[in-house]
């Protein structure tokens, strides 16, 4: 069979045949379908995993918040020793205890984080609304305050209203479910 053979001259050879230009090749359609299905599957997987990733961050934020209140408790202790006095009147009085200003912001809150060591200007920052995630109740407490006396607590909405960390006079910080925390705060407010 030579190329000049009249019987095979009109027939296209297998490699010369192409589909019309208006239709993509069948293989191209399969690739596009595979890409679309894979993309949808990945998006569904990410959508399924994302809430778990966000919820895993909250326990770490609770621990950091607890650490913040513990550091505030230590700063209050330093204040008491240095000034030979009871509890400070406000968080702003802790500026000379070398506490870092970041401890006054819960990582789960939307409060503005103050960065750097506490200085005299710290008084303005910690008293500014939206810059402190914690409520101080220690004003007027004597050194002899019972160890279970509530000194400070975090704002109610810091941890999606699941609960709150509370700081007591002995420096202990404890996590409570929201209803229990509110009951302790109500007893202290009386």
Q: What does the pLDDT look like over 121-165, one tens digit per residue?
A: 666 667 666 678 889 999 988 888 899 999 999 988 888 778 899
- pLDDT class for 171, splitting at 50, 70, 90? very high
What value does the mean pLDDT take over residues 81-104?
84
Indicate the domain borders of the chain: 59-189
Does residue 108 contact residue 58 with C-beta atoms inside 8 Å? yes
- In angstroms, the CA 27 to CA 40 distance is 20
Q: DSSP character for 12?
A: P
pLDDT of residue 184: 93
Does residue 102 contact residue 113 with C-beta atoms inside 8 Å? yes
- In angstroms, the CA 113 to CA 96 distance is 19
pLDDT of residue 174: 94
Does residue 166 contact residue 187 with C-beta atoms inside 8 Å? no
- pLDDT class for 11, splitting at 50, 70, 90? low
Cβ-proximal residues to 178 (8 Å cutoff; 6+ apart), any chain: 156, 161, 162, 163, 164
pLDDT of residue 104: 85
- The two structure tokens encoding residue 96: 């000379």
pLDDT of residue 48: 79
What value does the mean pLDDT take over residues 102-106?
85
Cβ-proximal residues to 59 (8 Å cutoff; 6+ apart), any chain: none
Residue 55 to residues 42, 92, 104, 128: CA-CA distances in angstroms? 20, 33, 23, 30
The answer to whether residue 36 scores a pLDDT higher than 80 is yes
């Amino acid at each position: 069979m030579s190329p000049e053979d009249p019987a095979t001259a009109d027939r296209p050879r297998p490699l010369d045949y192409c589909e019309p230009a208006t239709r993509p090749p069948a293989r191209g359609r399969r690739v596009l379908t595979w890409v679309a299905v894979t993309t949808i599957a990945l998006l569904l997987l990410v959508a399924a995993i994302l809430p778990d990733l966000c919820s895993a961050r909250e326990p770490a934020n609770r621990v950091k918040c607890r650490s913040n209140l513990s550091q505030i408790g230590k700063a209050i202790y330093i204040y008491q020793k240095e000034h030979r006095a009871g509890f400070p009147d406000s968080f702003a009085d802790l500026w000379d205890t070398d506490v870092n200003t970041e401890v006054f912001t819960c990582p789960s809150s939307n409060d503005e984080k103050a960065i750097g060591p506490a200085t005299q200007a710290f008084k303005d920052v910690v008293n500014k609304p939206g810059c402190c995630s914690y409520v101080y109740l220690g004003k007027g407490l004597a050194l002899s305050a019972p160890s279970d006396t509530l000194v400070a607590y975090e704002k109610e909405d810091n941890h999606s209203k699941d609960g709150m960390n509370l700081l007591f006079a002995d420096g202990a910080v404890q996590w409570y479910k929201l209803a229990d925390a509110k009951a302790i705060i109500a007893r202290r407010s009386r």
